[in-house]
């Protein structure tokens, strides 16, 4: 069984096949959607998509990490990370019994 990841090209092709937009318009549509989501996460720290989930930007503090192989300690700098919390509907769809 071959598992294929869903990427921008796959989404573009699905829009092209199902809706009938040209490939260029479909590609621009997918690109614009991701650009909007990224810009809103950066500016608002949170994006909620109904029946899908919520993307949040949060800060991680600086910490000391340990390399398990060499036992060397290193400082991991503070940074922002993005988290995703699926909606109840999304969770229920995933947990439906086939």
The mean per-residue pLDDT over the stretch 90-97 comes to 88
Could you state, in order of their start, the residue ranges of all structural domains in the chain? Answer: 1-44, 45-98
pLDDT bucket at 98, cuts 50 / 70 / 90:
low
Confidence (pLDDT) at 97: 67
What are the tokens at 12? 């573009």
Spatial separation of the C-alpha atoms in residues 73 and 41, rounded to whole Å = 32
Confidence (pLDDT) at 1: 57
DSSP run (H or E) holding 60: strand 53-60
CATH numeric code, 45-98: 4.10.520.10
Instruction: Tell me how far the alpha carbon of residue 55 is from its chain's centroid.
Output: 8
pLDDT in tens, 16-58: 999 989 999 999 999 999 999 999 999 998 999 999 999 999 9
pLDDT in tens, 1-18: 567 889 999 999 999 999
Number of Cβ within 10 Å of residue 31's Cβ equals 13
């Amino acid at each position: 069984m071959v598992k294929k990841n869903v990427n921008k090209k796959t989404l573009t092709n699905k829009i092209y096949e199902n809706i009938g937009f040209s490939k260029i318009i479909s590609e621009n549509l997918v690109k614009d959607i991701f650009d909007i989501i990224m810009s809103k996460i950066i500016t608002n720290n949170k994006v909620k998509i109904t029946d899908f989930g919520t993307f949040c930007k949060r800060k991680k503090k600086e910490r000391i990490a340990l390399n398990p192989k060499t036992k060397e300690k290193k400082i991991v700098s503070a940074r922002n990370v993005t988290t995703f919390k699926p909606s109840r509907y999304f969770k229920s769809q995933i947990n439906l019994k086939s």
